[in-house]
């Protein structure tokens, strides 16, 4: 006799219908969540007033297509962009404007290479990014600025938003200054024109950009009563002697300034007595900037150790290779050299620190950029490095709101046990 074929659930194992029902519930829930996420995304990124859930830390991109007509374009000619997370409650009329960092380029090869990345083309930028540290919307992570409008202007010009030229032979646009101006104009129209408080910030090349554009932002804001201050994180690049006795970073900066037409956009208080390359170094311009600035920097800046003090070209034998990537591998003479670099940094901010409106947090850590990482920004979130018993977020907040004067310079390495050594 042939075996009878059965269909349906009549002879199914008893747990099968239950599993199918559970699967159906999950699918329906997923669809509802997706629809809700799309509604939230449209409300936040499409000009609406709806605020995303606190747990949703991804902020969508805004492409500034209208900026192209004014020549404000990335290196490959694509439009610039920013990410905006709108404020809420008491923060509605306050703004954190963050200038993205990401190094520079100084010749045809390196600049062409960057057009294939987010640092040279908006085509390669992430369509949404996480806001953390000083950009976070979480009160526990970012107690003073979490409810503010927070915007990150993407970096795709390779001269700290300061160049303005076009290299016809290479087909490369160096329009950082125009990107800066167009982005700020767009933000003013989006509500920043009525801001009560603004903090311009950035880390690394973005930290340098925050210094370069600090006074410019003050003049672009229409209301003279608006409180404007600037935070430069990891942007105190020094014109230092490298391990071979040369000046690697000065040579590099000279190429960047010349290639990208930076000179006309540097602070006149510096270029009226120094050459343009010197005025791309913060140490030569900070004393002439009138808008209050807070300098957050590691005295043993990891990027500068690797790329300025001991770049491969200055260390052909590789004697510094282990030390520059692991401070515990440095010998006595290497540590002495690094202590000299710290001394130069402390000397560079001496005049700057005399202004009561300026702030300082220079810790003896091997790190580069500390304001945008949750673990280094706030004590509550991850044990921020501390000076004078205050972490970075508390120190910046005290300075911005005038709760206390902050002029904190750490003792030399290895005295600080609160450091997050990121090297």
Cβ atoms within 10 A of the Cβ of 119, count? 24
| Catalytic residue, candidates 122, 147, 204, 395 | 204
DSSP 8-state symbol, 89: G
What's the rounded Cα separation, in Å, for the pair 25 and 317? 64
Mention every residue, 6+ apart, whose C-beta is less than 8 A from residue 341. Answer: 238, 240, 299, 300, 304, 305, 309
The C-alpha angle 297, 299, 301, rounded to 5 degrees, equals 75
Q: For residue 414, is the peptide bond before it cis, meaning its omega torsion is within 30 degrees of 0?
A: yes
| Catalytic residue, candidates 368, 384, 395, 410 | 368
Helix (H, G, I), strand (E, B) or coil at 198: strand
What's the rounded Cα separation, in Å, for the pair 398 and 391? 11
Whether 144 is a known active-site residue: answer no
| Catalytic residue, candidates 141, 144, 242, 301 | 301
Whether 355 is a known active-site residue: answer no
> Is residue 237 within 8 Å of residue 249, measured between CB atoms?
yes
Helix (H, G, I), strand (E, B) or coil at 197: strand
Whether 76 is a known active-site residue: answer no
What's the rounded Cα separation, in Å, for the pair 67 and 79? 7
> Is residue 371 within 8 Å of residue 99, measured between CB atoms?
no
CA-based R_g, the chain, Å: 25
Question: Which pair of tokens denotes residue 167?
Answer: 């290299």
Active site residues: 204, 301, 368
């Amino acid at each position: 006799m042939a075996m009878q074929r059965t269909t349906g659930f009549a002879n199914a194992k008893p747990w099968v219908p239950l599993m199918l029902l559970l699967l159906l519930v999950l699918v329906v829930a997923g669809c509802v969540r997706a629809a809700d996420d799309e509604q939230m995304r449209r409300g936040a990124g499409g000009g609406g007033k709806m605020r995303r859930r606190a747990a949703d830390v991804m902020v969508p991109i805004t492409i500034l297509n209208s900026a192209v007509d004014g020549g404000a374009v990335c290196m490959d000619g694509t439009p610039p962009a920013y990410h905006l997370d709108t404020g809420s409650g008491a923060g509605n009329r306050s703004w954190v404007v963050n200038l993205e960092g990401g190094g520079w380029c100084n010749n045809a090869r390196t600049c062409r290479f960057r057009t294939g990345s987010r640092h040279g083309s908006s085509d390669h930028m992430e369509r949404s990014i996480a806001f953390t540290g000083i950009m976070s919307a979480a009160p526990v992570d970012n107690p003073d600025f979490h409810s503010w409008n927070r915007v990150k202007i993407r970096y795709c010009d390779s001269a700290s938003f300061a160049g303005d030229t076009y290299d016809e032979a290479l087909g490369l646009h160096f329009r950082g200054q125009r990107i800066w101006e167009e982005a700020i104009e767009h933000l003013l129209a989006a509500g920043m024109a009525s801001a009560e408080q603004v903090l311009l910030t950035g880390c690394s090349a973005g930290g340098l950009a925050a210094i370069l554009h600090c006074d410019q932002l003050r003049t672009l804001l229409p209301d003279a009563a608006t409180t404007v201050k600037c935070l430069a994180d990891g942007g105190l690049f020094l014109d230092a002697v490298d391990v071979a006795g040369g000046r690697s970073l000065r040579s590099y900066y000279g190429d960047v300034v010349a290639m990208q037409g930076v000179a006309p956009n540097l602070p006149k208080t510096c270029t009226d007595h120094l050459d343009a390359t010197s005025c791309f170094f913060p140490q030569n311009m900070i004393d002439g900037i009138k808008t209050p600035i807070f300098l957050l920097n590691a005295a043993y800046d990891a990027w500068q150790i690797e790329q300025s003090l001991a770049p491969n070209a200055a260390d052909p034998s590789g004697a510094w290779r282990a030390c520059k990537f692991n401070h515990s591998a440095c010998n006595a003479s290497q540590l002495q050299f690094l202590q000299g670099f710290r001394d130069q940094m402390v000397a560079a901010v001496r005049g700057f620190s005399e202004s009561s409106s300026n702030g300082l947090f220079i810790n003896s850590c091997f790190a580069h950029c500390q304001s945008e990482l949750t673990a280094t920004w706030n004590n509550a979130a991850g044990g921020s490095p501390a000076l004078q018993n205050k972490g970075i977020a508390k120190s910046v907040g005290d300075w911005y709101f005038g709760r206390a004067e902050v002029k904190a310079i750490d003792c030399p390495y290895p005295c600080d046990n609160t450091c997050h050594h990121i090297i």
